[in-house]
Each structure stands twice: as C-alpha cells, then as structure tokens.
C-alpha cells in the first residue's frame, strides 16, 4: 500500500513537472538528482508551476488538498503566486455511505441508533476530507447534527504524512531556499492541525469553551455540544440555521445592516484575541453563519472549532503596541518592539530595520485608510522582518491567517469597512485597562487574595531574603579574596619563571664573553655588549612587572 501510494505521487509529480518549483542551483544526491535531471528534459506543461502544483494536489486527494490549503496561509514563507494559486484549492470529496456512517456511530456509542435518536438521515448534509455531517433528532425532540470521521482516514493521513516528511527532509538537506521555508516545521504544524481535526473530543472541548465566552452576548452564537454522545470519532451538536457569510445577496434581501455586521465581526475578532485569548482560527465563510432574525442587529454563528489559537501575554502586548505604532506611522517604535520582543535577533541594526519597514509600509498610507488591508499590513511586516531572520511563531501565523479571513469577509459584506476605525477604540480601551489605573485595580483584584495569603509570611520572607543576600555577599567576598590570592600566586610564579629564564640568559652571556678567544677588542666588545643588551631586553620583557 505504501509503495503504491509513493508511486502514484511520483507519477503525478512527473506528469505536472513539479521539478520546476525546485531552484536550478539545487544539487540533489543519487537517484533523486538523476530523476530531476531526467524530468528537466521532458516536455513542459502549458500551465505555470504554481497552477501545476494546485492541480497536482487536487489529483493526490483530500489530505494533500488540505495541506495545500494550510500552505496557502503561510504567506510569510511562500512566493505570492504560489500562495494565491493554493488559495483556490477546494475540497471536492465524495461522501461515504450513510449506512457506514450509521455503523460507525453505533460502534462509537455502543448502542443502536434507535435508542438514542428518533431520526437519522443517511444522506449527508455535508462532506469534507476528514469527516461528513448527518442530520438527526434526539429522543427529546432536539434537532442535532452528527459529525462522523471518515473510516480509515487516519491510516491514509499517516501514510501521506510520511511522504510529506520525506520531501521536507530532502528540501532541508539540499536546498538553502528549502531550509529558509522550514518545511519540516510546516509539515509538523499540518500534522498538529490534521490530528486536531481527527479528535472530535478536542473540538468539542474548544466549542464548549468558546460558547461559554459568548453565551448571552447577543454577538456570537456557538452551538451547544451534546457531550454524552461525543466520542473521539463522533461529535453531536445543536443544529443551527442561518445564512452563510458568503451569501451577500441573501443577506441584502433580508435587509441585514451590512455595516453593523462587518463592524461586529471586527469587534468579535479583537475580543477573542485580546480579552479572551482564545480565538477561532479557521473563520472562513464555510464556518461562519449569520443569524438574520433581527436584520438591524444581526449576529454571527461560529462552527467547526477544531483549530483554536492563543497568544502569550507578552505576544499580546507586543502585538497591540506594534499595531498602534504602525497606524501612528512610528516605524522606529515598530522596529524597536520587534527587537525587544525577540521576534528578530537582538543584534539587528534598528536603524536599518526601521528604514526597511518604512519603505514597505509607507505606500499603504498613500491610499485612503478604508482601502488599507490590515491583514496585508501585518503580512508585510512579517515578510519584512523575515529578511532580518524573524522566526514566525505558529500562534502568530494563526493570528495572521484569521485576521486575513476576518478582514476579507468583512470587506465582502461591507466594502467600505475601515478596520482600523473599528479596532482603534477597542485597542485604546484595552491598553488603558491593561496599563492604566483600571488595569492596576484589575490586577489587584485578581491577585489580591493570593497576596493577602502571603502577607503574614512577608516579614519572615524578607528576613530570609536579606540573610540570603548577606550570605551571597559574604561568599562573593570570600571568593574575591581567594581569586585575588590565586592571581598573586600565579603572578609570582610567572615572575620567578621569567627571572630564572633571564638569569640563564645572563649566565650564558657571561660564559660566552669568557670563552670567546681574543680576536680583537672590538669584536669581543661587540659580542659582550650584544649579550648584555639582549639580557637587559629579556629582563625588561619578561621580568619587569
């Protein structure tokens, strides 16, 4: 099976001449090198290499398609034409039989469907690469959807992952450009994402937490999870109804306030990132629906919570400061923050970095603010920083991808969306709460009980700390004394050695003056004088401190 799969992949690579994506100066070893050499003598397809790559991934099946979709979000790594082409990838996966889905469900729950569900539709509602969805009704009358993982998909995924790791290893070993793209890290990220999608209990936990954050908010609705029916390969959730966010015509026909809807999407994103620190990282239109019950105040519905992102407190702070500095066009501050945060090496020349950021970002401000793509700005900053060896962290990539999705969706809903105008009040309020008086009060309220608990121990802790400091100071003083004495001993020993060497030279000079035959006063005087001068020089260089 593994050999057959590898041969099929090889046939697709040859047919589409994917060797064109490999730089010409790369030297591959042995059989691989010969294969590339032969490929480059075959006819060239009419499509450009980026298009050929997309078509090849579609031929290789849903797992490679999903990998290509993930790659399309890595614009910090890929050339623009490749990323744009991969963004066109669509999952076109035929469903597996409803009877097979029913068997999987019954095996997972350990009981016949009729004992748990009053109805179960064998015709799937939707089908994707990893799972498909069926409608059902619980015995209490609740309408639900059941997400069932494809049978045998885990085996296929593991086989394809081995191939991807092999290709990544080849790129790492034999291509400088390949190493720059960090292919092994990319495959590892993909493995994490795809394994997360296979684990329905993880998705259930993410969904429950996201629902708790937004419950009764009137802004974002997250369907209820029926945990008692959820297993690692089965997820049962509340059935929701709404329009997909991509159905612009339907939204307008229902009289939805498009401006309010677009601004609400931005508010939800920034709230998830900066307040909850738990953001839905797969917010494409297929996972975002709109509740149009009240067209003047529409709300969002979030589905498919398999991919969730979060940032460290430090990354959140640095990101917020960076965004504010950028929109103030304070590029020196942007450069300083990148260096201080450790996103770029500490040895980076801040003036040079500032100049490059300015050259990349200033053109954005030649346009009206409503036409500036916030996501593209962040992408430009990341790409610029990459020239200075910036290591893009996975959580920042997820954030960038989500921001691009949110902004693209918002502009589709309301083309005049000024994302910064919507985000600025939120950011300023958040920063005020973070570092102002309210932030101090909040920190005290959060950590006050723990501080009060430690308060009775404070005098003893202070005393112990002072004693430890005194002990450290005493030890340091003793070590300094020992080191000083050791240094003096070493200096004395060196002086004695030098004196001994110099004495030997003087003795040799004296013997030379006695043994030289009387060949003339001038010659003897020259030899003795030279010997004495040489001895004096040795003394000066080696003996005199």
Residue positions annotated with a catalytic role: 282
Contact at 8 Å (CB) between 390 and 343? yes
| 237 closest CA partner among 289, 297, 194 | 289
- One DSSP character per residue, 53-101 reads HHHHHHHH-HHHHHHHHHHHT-TTTS-HHHHHHHTT-----PPPPHHHH
Between CA 434 and CA 438 the distance in angstroms is 7
Between CA 279 and CA 401 the distance in angstroms is 12
Contact at 8 Å (CB) between 17 and 38? no
Contact at 8 Å (CB) between 382 and 393? no
Between CA 500 and CA 54 the distance in angstroms is 81
| 182 closest CA partner among 78, 69, 81, 83 | 78
Question: Any idea what DSSP says for residue 43?
Answer: P
Between CA 168 and CA 173 the distance in angstroms is 9
- One DSSP character per residue, 226-287 reads -GGG-BTTEEEEE----EETT-HHHHHHTT--HHHHHHHHHHHHHIIIIIIS-EES---GGG
**Alpha carbon of 465 to those of 469, 471, 474: distances in Å?**
6, 10, 14
Backbone angles phi, psi at 148, to 5 degrees: -115, 125
Between CA 144 and CA 227 the distance in angstroms is 12
3-state secondary structure at position 545 = coil
| 71 closest CA partner among 51, 86, 90 | 86
CA atoms lying within 13 Å on the CB side of residue 405? 24
CA atoms lying within 13 Å on the CB side of residue 392? 29
Contact at 8 Å (CB) between 359 and 351? no
3-state secondary structure at position 331 = helix
Between CA 157 and CA 384 the distance in angstroms is 34
**Maximum separation of any 2 CA atoms in the chain, in Å:** 130
| 337 closest CA partner among 328, 376, 365 | 328
Between CA 350 and CA 458 the distance in angstroms is 43
Sole residue written with tokens 């050499």: 37
Helix (H) or strand (E) holding 126: strand 126-127
Backbone angles phi, psi at 300, to 5 degrees: -95, 155
Taken in order 426, 427, 432, 434, the sign of the CA dihedral is positive
């Amino acid at each position: 099976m593994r050999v057959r799969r590898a041969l099929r992949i090889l046939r697709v690579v040859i047919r589409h001449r994917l060797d064109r994506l490999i730089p010409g100066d790369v030297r591959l070893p042995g059989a691989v090198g010969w294969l590339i050499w032969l490929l480059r003598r075959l006819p060239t397809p009419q499509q450009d290499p980026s298009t050929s790559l997309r078509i090849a991934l579609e031929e290789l099946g849903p797992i490679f398609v999903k990998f290509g979709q993930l790659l399309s979000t890595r614009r910090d790594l890929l050339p623009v034409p490749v990323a744009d082409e991969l963004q066109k990838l669509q999952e076109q996966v035929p469903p597996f039989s409803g009877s097979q889905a029913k068997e999987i469900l019954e095996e997972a729950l350990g009981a016949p469907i009729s004992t748990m569900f009053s109805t179960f539709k064998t015709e799937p509602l939707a089908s994707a690469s990893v799972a498909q969805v069926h409608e059902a009704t619980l015995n209490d009358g609740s309408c639900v959807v059941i997400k069932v993982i494809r049978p045998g998909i885990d085996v296929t995924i593991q086989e394809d992952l081995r191939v991807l790791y092999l290709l990544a290893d080849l790129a790492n070993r034999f291509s400088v450009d390949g190493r720059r793209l960090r292919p092994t890290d990319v495959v590892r990220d993909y493995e994490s994402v795809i394994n997360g999608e296979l684990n329905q209990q993880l998705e259930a936990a993410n969904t429950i937490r996201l629902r708790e954050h937004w419950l009764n908010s009137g802004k974002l609705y997250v369907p209820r999870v029926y945990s008692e029916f959820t297993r690692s390969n089965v997820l049962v959730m509340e059935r929701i109804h709404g329009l997909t966010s991509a159905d612009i015509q339907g939204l307008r026909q229902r009289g939805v306030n498009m401006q309010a809807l677009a601004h609400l999407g931005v508010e939800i994103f920034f709230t998830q990132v900066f307040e909850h620190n738990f953001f839905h990282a797969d917010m494409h239109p297929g996972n975002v629906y709109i509740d149009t019950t009240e067209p003047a105040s529409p709300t969002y519905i979030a589905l498919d919570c398999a991919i969730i992102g979060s940032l460290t407190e430090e990354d959140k702070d640095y990101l917020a400061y960076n965004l504010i500095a950028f929109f103030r066009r304070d590029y020196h501050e942007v450069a300083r923050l990148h260096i201080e945060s450790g996103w770029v090496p500490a040895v980076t020349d801040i003036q040079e970095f500032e100049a490059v950021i300015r050259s990349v970002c200033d053109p954005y401000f030649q346009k009206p603010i409503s036409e500036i793509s916030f996501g593209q700005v962040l992408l430009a900053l990341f790409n610029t920083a990459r020239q200075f060896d910036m290591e893009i962290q996975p959580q920042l990539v997820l954030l960038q991808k989500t921001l691009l999705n949110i902004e693209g969706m918002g502009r589709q809903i309301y083309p005049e969306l000024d994302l910064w105008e919507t985000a600025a009040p939120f950011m300023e309020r958040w920063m005020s709460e973070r570092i102002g008086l309210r932030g101090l009060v909040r920190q005290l309220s959060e950590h006050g009980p723990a501080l009060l608990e430690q308060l009775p121990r404070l005098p003893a802790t202070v005393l112990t700390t002072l004693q430890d400091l005194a002990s450290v100071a005493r030890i340091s003083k003793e070590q300094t004394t020992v080191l000083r004495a050791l240094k003096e001993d070493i200096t004395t020993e060196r002086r004695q050695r030098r004196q001994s060497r110099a004495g030997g030279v003087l003795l040799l000079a004296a013997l030379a003056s006695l043994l030289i035959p009387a060949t003339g006063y001038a010659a003897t005087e020259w030899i003795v004088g030279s010997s004495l001068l040489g001895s004096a020089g040795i003394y000066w260089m080696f003996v005199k401190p």
